Amino acid sequence: MKLGVIADDFTGAVDIAGFLVSGGMRTLMCAKPVATGQLPETDAIVMSLKIRSIPSSDAVKEALSALAFLQEAGCDRFYYKYCSTFDSTEKGNIGPISDALRAALGLSSTLICPSLPINRRTVYHGYLFVGDQLLSDSPMRHHPLNPMKMSKLADLLAMQSPATNGHVYYDVVRKGATAVKNRIDTLEKDGVNNIIVDVINDGDLTTIAKATEDMLLVTGGSGLAQGIAAVRAKALGERGTAKPAFLPKRTKAVVIAGSCSAMMQKQVAYYKEKAESFSIDEQACVDDPSYPETLAKWVFAHQGSTLAPMVFATRSPEELQYNREQRFKGVYLAGIIEQVFGKMTAILAQKGVETFIVGGGETSGVVASTLGVDAYLIGEQIDPGVSWVQSLDKKYQLVLKSGNFGCESFLEKAQECYDERN
C-alpha cells in the first residue's frame, strides 16, 4: 500500500501526516502537485489543500486534481481527510468532495469516520461529540467561518449531497473487525453511499482500519490514520516506530496566532505570561497599508529571547461578535487580518526568519502559501495532531496548528523540541 491523502486544509494535513509518521510510515506533505521525479521514497503522500470553506465546485476541482497527482505518484489507496469536528456549511464541502472522489474512482460507497478519540472527538449512534458535549453544544457552535449547529452526521451530509447514508453502530464495532466488515458489505449491497461508523476509543480505530483494508477510498478525521498505520505495521511485522524526517533547530522565529478557538485562547493567555506578545490592532489592519511592516519590525526587535515573540489576533466570542456586528459591520475583517499576516510573513522571511509557529487553519494556510513551500518533510510530533514540518529545501521549519489542537502550554512546548546540538 502507498497511501494518498487529500486534506482539506494545511493544519489537517499536518495532523494526519504526524499520525502516519508516528505509526512508522515515511510521509511527505505537498501543498500542490510537484514533479514526481523529485519526490523521495515514501509510504504516504499528503496533499495539503485549502478547500474547507471555498465554493463547493472549486473544492471538488482541486480535490480531483490532487487525486490525479496522487495516482501519478504511485498511490494505490486514498483517504479524504477533513476536520474531526466535521467543519462544513449546509452546501458542503464534505459531501460533494466525497461524492466526486467516489465517482472518479468508480466506487459506490465510502467510509465516514471523523472520530479522533485522543482529542476527544467521538461518534456514537451517528452523533458527533466533542468531549462530553454534542458538537452542536460545543464551542464549535461559535466557529467564525463554519458554526456547527447540528450533531447528527447523516443530517449534515443530507444537506450537502443526495448520497444515501447508513450506519455501523457501536454494538457492531465492539464485536470486532469481521462484524464491521460484514455490516459494511450489507450496507454496500443495499446501495448505501456514505457508511458512517461509531468510534469511541483508539482500539475502535484499529478495528475499523482492519475491516476496511480493501476499501479503495476512506474519508474521515486523522484518527483513522492511526488505525491504518497500526494495521500496516502489524502486517509487515514492524513495531510502528515513529520515523520523523528531521529535528528542528533554533533559528530566528515568530509565533503567529490567528485562531479564536477556545483552546487557542488558553494557549495565547498562557504564552503571554512567558514571552513577548503583541495584540494586533484591527483598525490599523483595515486602515494602514504599512501595518504589516510595523508588526514585522516589532518581531525583529524582540528576537534573541529563549521563546519566540508572538503576534496574535485571538479574540473571545464576545469580542468577535462585537467586531462583527458593531465595530466592523459589513467588513470582512478575518480576510483583512489574514492578508496582514501574509504580508508580515513575507517581510519576516525576506529578513531571515526561518521558523514560523502558527495557530489556526486559515492563518497556517496563508503563512505556508506566502512562503511558497510546495513540499514538506514531517518531523517530530509535538502533541497529538501537531508536528514540526520542514520545507523540502530545508529553508523553513514550521508548526501549522489547528486552533483546537495542543495542550495549554503548546506554544512553549513546541520550542522545547529544538535540537540544540551544533
Q: Give me the CATH number covering residue 89.
A: 3.40.50.10840
Indicate the pTM of the whole model. Answer: 0.81
Residue type at position 5: V
Tens digit of each residue's pLDDT (9 = 90 or more) over 195-238: 999 999 999 999 999 999 999 999 999 999 999 999 999 999 88
Q: Please tell me the predicted confidence (pLDDT) of residue 422.
A: 55
Task: Please check whether residues 25 and 64 belong to one and the same domain.
Answer: yes
Task: Please check whether residues 304 and 208 belong to one and the same domain.
Answer: no
Residue type at position 146: N
Q: What are phi and psi of 304, to 5 degrees?
A: 105, -20
Quick check: helix, strand or coil at residue 261?
A: coil
Is the pLDDT at 382 greater than 90? The verdict is yes
Tens digit of each residue's pLDDT (9 = 90 or more) over 27-73: 999 988 887 777 888 999 999 998 988 999 999 999 999 999 999 99
Task: Please check whether residues 282 and 134 belong to one and the same domain.
Answer: no
Task: Please check whether residues 14 and 130 belong to one and the same domain.
Answer: yes
Task: Please check whether residues 29 and 101 belong to one and the same domain.
Answer: yes
Q: Which of 186-200, 228-242, 360-374 has the highest mean pLDDT?
A: 186-200
- Assess if residue 421 is contained within a domain: no
Going edge to edge, which strands form the sheet with 127-130?
121-124, 127-130, 133-134
All residues at 6 or more sequence positions from 53 whose CB lies less than 8 Å from its CB, including other chains: 87, 89, 93, 145, 146, 362
Q: Are 216 and 105 in contact (CB under 8 A)?
A: yes
Tens digit of each residue's pLDDT (9 = 90 or more) over 175-186: 999 999 999 999
The residue from 182, 204, 236 where one domain ends is: 236
Residue among 109, 367, 158 nearest 257 (CA) = 367
Q: Which long-range contacts (CB under 8 A, 24 or more apart) does 344-350 make?
A: 344/256, 344/292, 344/293, 344/295, 344/296, 344/299, 344/311, 345/256, 345/370, 345/371, 346/292, 346/370, 347/292, 347/293, 347/296, 348/254, 348/296, 348/299, 348/300, 349/396
Quick check: helix, strand or coil at residue 372?
A: coil
Helix count and strand count (H, E) for the chain: 15, 18
Q: Please tell me the predicted confidence (pLDDT) of residue 351.
A: 94
The residue from 183, 206, 236 where one domain ends is: 236
Average pLDDT, the chain: 93
Q: Please tell me the predicted confidence (pLDDT) of residue 190.
A: 98
Q: Please tell me the predicted confidence (pLDDT) of residue 355.
A: 98
- For residues 93-106, average pLDDT: 98
Residue among 128, 134, 130, 58 nearest 93 (CA) = 58
Range of the domain at 186: 3-236
* Percent of the chain clearing pLDDT 70 (strictly above): 100
The residue with greater pLDDT, 100 or 422, is 100
Query: Which grid cell is 5?
Result: 491523502
How many structural domains is the chain composed of?
2
- Assess if residue 242 is contained within a domain: no
